[in-house]
Amino acid sequence: MLPTKPEYEKYINSVKYVQSVYDGSEEAKQYLQQFTKENKTKFDNRKEVATLNNFVKRTVNAMRNIIFRNPLDTSLLPPSFDEFKKAVDFTDSLNEFAKDITDALVRDGETWILVDSLQGEATSRAEERELGLRPYFVHINRASVVNWRYDNQGRFEFAVIRENYVEIDGFKEESKEQDKVWYSDGRVQIYRDAELYEEYQLQINKVP
């Protein structure tokens, strides 16, 4: 994989720890420690039956519910946003998407939104709509943004997003990681095993 930013290395273990506790007992068990006078058999048994009072998830959900006790007011958005509001990421409504973002923000302290678009050629706005080539939001968890750099005006020069893809070999499916690099000149590069796998060009000169 590509190098990660030193700042990322400083906080990623804490982010993963909180995520594991948030996910519940099965994930959090990895952080149980063996007592000094506890043999391995007893430790394994204790680990097997361990439970968790998940105050982290309860707190995150409580804060989210306070913020979203009423639905988002989208009345000021123009009519052209109506379809976008119903499926901001092609699946969730803007309101549901915002709830997920809030969960991640409270849990991780920081989260990201990428604005992406399907690739395709269109000569008019009508043809764009027909082909479904509208922008859409992608929620990127803090742990997935592994490297980045800002210019002197606070804009991204590049951002590296680590994501999973599925490699299929006959009946066998294997999940692997790849790094996708977004550049401020609109280039997007995909690296697998630290080697360039694919590259394409966006129609905007920024990291969206």
Q: One digit per residue, pLDDT tens: the chain, 208 residues?
A: 899 999 999 999 999 999 999 999 999 999 999 999 999 999 999 999 999 999 999 999 999 999 999 999 988 888 878 878 888 998 999 999 999 999 999 999 999 999 987 766 655 566 666 666 678 899 999 999 999 999 999 999 999 999 999 999 899 999 999 999 999 999 999 999 989 999 998 888 899 9
151 lies in the same domain as 134: no
134 lies in the same domain as 90: yes
121 lies in the same domain as 177: no
d(CA 146, CA 179): 9
148 lies in the same domain as 125: no
Adjacent-strand bridge partners of 160: 147, 181
d(CA 179, CA 196): 9
Q: The domain containing residue 196 runs over which residues?
A: 144-208
User: Phi first, then psi: what are they for 144, rounded to 5°?
Assistant: -90, -15
Listed residue (101, 100, 104) closest to 19, CA to CA = 104
DSSP state of 168: E
